[in-house]
Structure 1
Amino acid sequence: MNIEDKSINKKRETWQYPWGYKESFLIVAELMLLGLIIEVLSRGKGFTGIEWPVNAIIGVSIILIIATIHFFYRRNPIVRWLSSVPAAVSAISFFAFLVLLLGFIPQGNPHLSPVVQTLGLYHIKNSWLFVISGLYLLICLGLVTFRRSRSLTKKNIGFILNHAGMWIVLAAGSLGSGDLIRVTAELVESGAPVNTAISRKMEMKELPFSMELIDFKIDEYAPKLGIVDVTTGQLVEYEGTRTFSAEESKSLLVGPWSVRIDTFYTDAFLDSLVFRPYVFDGSAPAVLATVHNNSNNQSVSGWISCGSFIVPQIHLQLDQQNILVMLKPEAKKFSSDIVFSHNQQSDTATIEVNKPFMIKGFNIYQLSYDEEMGKWSRVSVVEVVKDPWLSVVYFGIFLLLGGAAYIFWIGNEPKNAEK
């Protein structure tokens, strides 16, 4: 009796089958160490990525290897562990940990510690750690999906759709990163057509089409005013507010000051010490304001302007410590009218920040402009993006949503309905 009790209560030794959470996370620790060692040996260069058709061949090979392991070696203890819950939890935790590091460690920062750079933590998405964690997760997901698909019951359909969709999203997102093209091009009004763009690595990329900027337009919000402490150079905060809109006939209380906007011009030029309304390339907004100090009953009045590349910036001195300033107007909307040409055919399109134009599989996004010139900018910076694997990712997301819908709606039927 005592011998039986001892055998029952005897703890399972580490690495004794079946493996559980302890072994699973020990393996994750070993995989992390392996990834760091490879990263150090490659001097922090990371995984350079693969392009078509190599990535497609690798993707198909991974599927075939997982299928072969499942159909011929599924009774192997290691294979059974790879399709178990502890292995899945450890794989997801490994991958999620790296995703968290992405948010905490600035990526691509050349001024990080040499240790961080050598370990590849400044480019985690291209590090060997990320490659190994993704491969581990794909193997676990694939084996679990194959195992559940052997029993194709009504209950398992939602599970299979979810896991297959997640596998496709992860595989396509990882393998397709080498085919992703993301470059920027600078277009100038009345300039020559542009058919090249520059990558983040400052590499020139030739495009299968040309772009010619016809017109660049910006709509701006009304400029904002604020009080600056000259000793700190910072905007002073009153009741949680640092700035207020410059609108004519507007009066408001800002701390000890009562501010009244007497005149507001959206476009003006400086004539001696007075602003006159006039629209020209380089005109700037201007405000005539009267400020009353309620603590000493003194008032001051004068013109304020944020200035431009032609008009000087003007502020109003309130006292020895504080000045009233105008901030640069924020862009409400900016867009570009562009002529796209390809094979002696041309299309004219207007692109905005969230309204791209597609041509030859490329999406053209409005990115930025010459901020020094402001609304008078004649330069438009566009981003050219091509992701041929995006449709595969969308297919995986569709399977995920289909599996979720199945589980929540069809899968909630009473169990006896299947019988």
Structure 2
Amino acid sequence: MWNKPWKYREGIAICIGLLITGALLQASIGPVEWRFFMWPANIIALALLIAALVLFYMLRSKAYIFRFMAQTEAAVPALATAAILTVIMGLTRQVPEGHLAMEPIGLSRILSFWPFVLIYLWNTIIVAEVGIYQLVHFQKRFIPSLVSHLGLFIFLTCGVLGSVDMKRLKMYCEEGNPEWRALDSYDKVHELPLAIELQKFTIDEYPPKLAMFESKTGKALPKEKPQNIVIEKGFTSAELAGWTITVEKYIEDAMPAGMLKMLQGMPEQMMKMMKMDDLGMRINAGGFVEYKDKGAATAILIKAQKGKTVKRGWVSSGSYMFPMSSLKLDDNTEIGMSAREPLRYV
């Protein structure tokens, strides 16, 4: 080993050495603190990196390791190690930037994990050295590879060093109210140099679905292969588990008539004092009426018939303002509407 020319085993050994070095740095001085690279430190670091890369290339004839950097035997193990660490990052829950890792190793904050940083730095150096070689010994056949290597170098360096100055903020917007304040991951308020006004927000949903379920367990029926009916535009009737389901009235945005009366006439304090059974009876009294405001939900008046048995009533998926409504077919079976699935947000 370490006999010239170096092969893949030397490339693997370098990666293992970087991982061990990174683990020792992680244990001794802690994770990489990227805040030290905020502007103008990041542009200075980039200039120093480029100067070092040029120096490495100039010393190729004197130090074999600088020639080895531009060889496939160095690139393949480096890329493989970076890929493994990236997979670990994807499989590990990551904490927001600036927060402490959830475990002592530091894998939940892998972008500041020294082994990860050193491997990606090694990959960046290899990409840059290949690009410099192709620029110095330029040929037309090098153009595709040269563009790829330079693009990857720009992505790795500027993407990392530029992200230090980026703030991730969360803004809560209400319709018709301009908002210029946002919250960071610590819930600290930041005033932005711009304002955002939410003029209108709508959600397009898939058509509602009706399904049968057990009253006691809530499990869909039939148990072996649950069935449902999609209530699309123009729907009249269909079979569901032996029952003929007919739509008699359809309200896209509805509110229980009893609930609407309570909202209009009963004080909130009195609603809180009522028993849940009494509250539910009052809400469901009088069916559903059209209601174009917050908290509305789709409601359908259906007729379910099986032989001579006929059941009629309202079904609704409910909302945060009122519970779902279902139609009881017998002691053990009900028919209800599942929550509508969003199609798109506008």
Query: Which range, TM-score by smaller chain?
Result: 0.7 to 0.9
- For 2:11 and 2:18, the matched residues in 1 are separated by 11
1 or 2, which has the higher strand percentage? 1
Aligned twin of 2:303: 290
For 1:35 and 1:95, locate their aligned partners in 2 and report how far apart those are by CA, in whole Å.
13
1:225 aligns with 2:235: no
Q: Tell me the secondary structure at the aligned position of residue 53 of structure 2.
A: helix
Unaligned runs of 5+ in 2: 258-284
Alignment correspondent of 2:182: 197
Superposed displacement of residue 281, structure 1: 4.5
Distance 2:24 2:221 in 1: 51
SS at match of 1:142: helix
Kindly tell me: are residues 185 and 90 of structure 1, through their superposed partners in 2, closer, same or farther at Cα, counting changes over 3 Å? same
1:55 maps to which residue? 42
3-state SS of the aligned residue for 2:80? Answer: helix
Cα displacement string for residues 12-37 of structure 1 (whole angstroms, at most 9, x for unaligned residues): xx222222111211221222222233
Partner of 2:311: 300
Aligned 1:68-107 pairs, distance under 5 A: 68-107=55-94
Q: TM-score, normalised by structure 2?
A: 0.78
Give the structure 2 partner of residue 409 of structure 1: none
Supply the distance in 2 between the matched residues of 1:237 and 1:180 (Cα, whole angstroms). Answer: 53
Q: Is the 8 A contact 1:87 1:140 kept in 2?
A: yes
The CA deviation string for residues 58-85 of structure 1, in whole angstroms up to 9 with x for no partner, is: 1121111011110133442111222111
Match of residue 192 from structure 2 = 207
Partner AA of 2:148 in structure 1: N
**Within 2, Cα distance between the matches of 1:229 and 1:39?**
56
Shift of 1:299: 5.0
Specify whether residues 115 and 265 from structure 1 end up closer, same or farther in structure 2 by C-alpha distance, changes over 3 A only.
closer
Aligned to 2:261: none
1-structure distance, mates of 2:288, 2:247: 14
Aligned match of 2:256: 270
2:95/2:101 contact within 8 Å kept: no
Aligned to 1:152: 138
Residue 90 of structure 1 and its aligned partner are, at CA, apart by: 1.1
**Which amino acid is the alignment partner of residue 324 of structure 2?**
Q
1:95-126 alpha-carbon deviations (Å, 9 max, x no partner): 111221122222239xxxx9972222112233
Secondary structure, in 3 states, of the residue corresponding to 2:103?
A: helix
Q: Residue 10 of structure 1 corresponds to which residue in structure 2?
A: none
Answering whether residue 134 of structure 2 is matched by residue 121 of structure 1, we say: no
Flag the 1:72–1:24 CA change in 2: closer, same or farther, 3 A.
closer
**Aligned residue identity for 1:76:** A
Corresponding letter in the other structure for 1:285: T
Pair 1:315 & 2:326 matched: yes
**Contact (CA 8 Å) 2:302, 2:315: kept in 1 or not?**
yes
Indicate yes or no: 2:223 matched with 1:245: no
Q: 1:313 to 1:228 in 2, by over 3 A?
A: same
Structure 1 distance, partners of 2:305, 2:88, is 52
Structure ranking higher in helix proportion: 2
1:59 alignment partner AA: L
The change in CA–CA distance for 1:278 and 1:150 in structure 2 (over 3 A counts) is closer
Which one-letter code corresponds to 1:316 in the other structure? L
| Cα distance in 2 for residues equivalent to 1:33 and 1:158 | 35
Rounded Cα–Cα distance in structure 2 between residues aligned with 1:61 and 1:146: 16
**1:57 is aligned with what amino acid?**
I
Over the matched positions of the two proteins, sequence identity in percent amounts to: 27
Is residue 21 from structure 1 mapped to residue 8 from structure 2 by the alignment?
A: yes
Q: TM-score, normalised by structure 1?
A: 0.65
Please tell me whether the aligned partners of residues 35 and 129 of structure 1 are also in contact (alpha carbons under 8 angstroms).
yes
Q: Does the residue aligned with 1:300 lie in a helix, a strand or coil?
A: strand
Q: Which runs of 5+ in 1 are unaligned?
A: 1-13, 336-419
> Contact (CA 8 Å) 1:197, 1:205: kept in 2 or not?
yes
Q: Structure 1, residues 331-373: CA drift from partner, whole Å, max 9, x if none?
A: 44444xxxxxxxxxxxxxxxxxxxxxxxxxxxxxxxxxxxxxx
Aligned-partner Cα distance in 1 for 2:83–2:103: 21
2:123 maps to which of 137, 150, 155 = 137
Cα distance, 1:242–1:75 mapped onto 2, change above 3 Å = farther
Return the offset for 1:41.
3.6
